[in-house]
Amino acid sequence: MSEITVVEVFGKIRDRLDPAADRLCELADSFPSLDSDSPAQLEKDLHQIAVNACGFRDQLDTWFPREIEVSDDFDSSDHLRSGRHDARNQLNRLFGVAQLIRISTPPEPIFSLTESLLEHLESCLSIVAESTVPGKISLHGSKFECNIPEGIAEGAHILIADDQAENREILDRLLTRCGFTMDFATNGEEAITAIENTAYDAVLLDIEMPRMDGFEVLARLRESGHLRHTPVIVVTGLQEEQDAVRCIEIGAEDFLSRPIRPALLMARLSASLEKKRLREKVFEQHFTPELARELARNPDPMKMQARQAEVTVLFCDIRRFSSISERMGASHTIDWLSGVMGEFSSVVIDHGGVLVDYTGDELMAMWGAPNEQPDHAELGCRTALEILERLPEINKKWQPIVGAETNVGIGVNTGEALVGNVGTHRKFKYGPLGTTVNLASRVQGATKYLKTSLLVTGDTAKKLPEDFPTRRLCQVRVQNIQAPVHLFELKPPQAPEDWGTRAKTFEQALEHFESRNFHQASSILGDILLASPNDGPCLQLMARVVEAMLNEGRDFSPVWTLPGK
């Protein structure tokens, strides 16, 4: 580019920018003085408008000089590019502050003057870009609203990475109004460190930053895997299409050029967070909301991959489901099943459990993975007890509709299992596999034979706190598992005050039975049944005692082989 061409280019820009800058100063100076009751922030913003408007005019000779001394090392294209960049940044800052004034709905005439200022800033920006405004955005008569869907902003944690304090402040004030929580980074290295140490819901990233620009930040995040789960929206003064394409190709969720349009920013941010929320919903089918959020933000492959872990597994089955559903019909059955399983599922989640599966009238849950839970056995048992505790309220609602009580059988077992995604690439399903799971299912089935609602295995019972009340009921051998299993009953809700005394007495009878002292066992059990004639485990043990006495102890085994599942 020759000297005369440079002068012509800068001269044409100045011929349009000089009167535009003068008008900008006039508009900035036209705002009225504020009274003592006006907000301090509004006074600060108006002062910033006045200072920056005059500063813009004063810098024109630096950005677009009418007189140029051309030397051998003078690069006219670079100077023009630099001047546009600096002028645009100054106008963008003015535009951002004016937008903040406008969305605060100031009194007249400040609101109308702000509208005029914003429209004029649009014209100034188009001059700097040497283009006409491609259809002005209507700013008159409308107010900015935080159109974020309910629940999206609540608890959402945003990182703003920008080296310019004014830009950070504008974004901070815009997003705070909508309920977001913000952290800030002033350069690329700070941004990378923050993202590695904090699980953000989204990142607003500038490109032109010191120490590491936005392009490199995006590349680093893609390499580390963060871009798969943390949406990054580029908010920058860069205007070129090639910059936007480059950011999107690296992995940015979106690209917004300054000046910031609040409504557009909120729409893009809302869309990004909604997509992230949909990913969370997949995990919420199985996990607590907190864990689902953690896994959606930053899934730990070590947590999700198949591995051995000690877990507690619970099966809960609705009794007499087939006969009730046949009588009720499909529509009422679905409503009843959904309502009851919804209650049980809430109890599991409230106690930190993983909802593994529903199979018809049965629920399966797990504790101890993917996060470690040292008290997983206690959590599983307390869940079982609360399910039983909720049955009276459930029956109050559903018994008039169902025509029968809703009763359940619950089995709980603790042990090693293979845990991980046991689903497919089409459907995620996190849960356990192995003998521990099969035994828990069989123990649930054993509740029918022992005529009780809740059974836990010895492996679960020994993990409970010492003061957790239990009653040892028997040793059983379940189908397809050869090793005998000790079964325990937990103290049920609304149990009589002397339940602990009766439990100890029952265990004495059980010890006599296992030692072949059948008459002593029979005598103790008879006393218990006089006080509690409906004690299912006691009735079952008495039947086994009588059978052993009739057979005179022949072929006796303290281990009871259950007749079915």
The answer to whether 440 and 481 are in contact (CB under 8 A) is: no
**Mean per-residue pLDDT over the chain, rounded:** 85
pLDDT for residue 267: 83
Taking only the tens place, the pLDDT of each residue in 94-131 is: 888 888 888 888 888 888 888 888 888 888 887 787 53
pLDDT for residue 147: 55
Taking only the tens place, the pLDDT of each residue in 128-175 is: 875 333 333 333 334 445 555 555 667 789 999 999 998 898 899 888
More confident of the two residues 4 and 545: 545
Q: Supply 405's token pair.
A: 């009580």
pLDDT for residue 134: 33
Q: Supply 538's token pair.
A: 């006691």
Closest CA to 512 of 476, 548, 484: 548
CA distances from 320 to 333, 362, 404, 406, 563 (A): 12, 12, 10, 9, 19
Kindly indicate the confidence band of residue 359, based on its pLDDT and cuts at 50, 70 and 90.
confident
Domains along the sequence of the chain with CATH = 3-128 (1.20.120), 157-284 (3.40.50.2300), 300-493 (3.30.70.1230), 496-565 (no CATH)
Taking only the tens place, the pLDDT of each residue in 361-380 is: 999 999 998 888 999 999 99
Taking only the tens place, the pLDDT of each residue in 394-411 is: 999 999 998 999 999 999
More confident of the two residues 474 and 119: 474
Mean pLDDT, residues 415-443 taken together = 86
More confident of the two residues 140 and 545: 545
More confident of the two residues 276 and 266: 266
Residue spans of beta strands (DSSP E) within 77-190: 157-161, 181-185
Closest CA to 433 of 415, 417, 444: 417
| Residue 259, number of CB atoms within 10 A of its CB | 20
Q: Which long-range contacts (CB under 8 A, 24 or more apart) does 27-36 make?
A: 27/53, 27/113, 27/116, 27/117, 27/120, 28/53, 28/54, 28/117, 30/113, 31/110, 31/113, 32/109, 32/110
Kindly indicate the confidence band of residue 297, based on its pLDDT and cuts at 50, 70 and 90.
low
Helix (H) or strand (E) holding 356: strand 354-359
Instruction: Calculate what percentage of the chain has a pLDDT beyond 70.
Output: 87
Helix (H) or strand (E) holding 490: strand 485-490
Q: Is the pLDDT of residue 204 over 80?
A: yes
Q: Is the pLDDT of residue 298 over 80?
A: no
The answer to whether 313 and 380 are in contact (CB under 8 A) is: yes
What is the C-alpha to C-alpha distance for residues 367 and 374, in angstroms, rounded to an integer? 9
Q: Is the pLDDT of residue 415 over 90?
A: yes
Closest CA to 13 of 106, 80, 104: 80
pLDDT for residue 179: 83
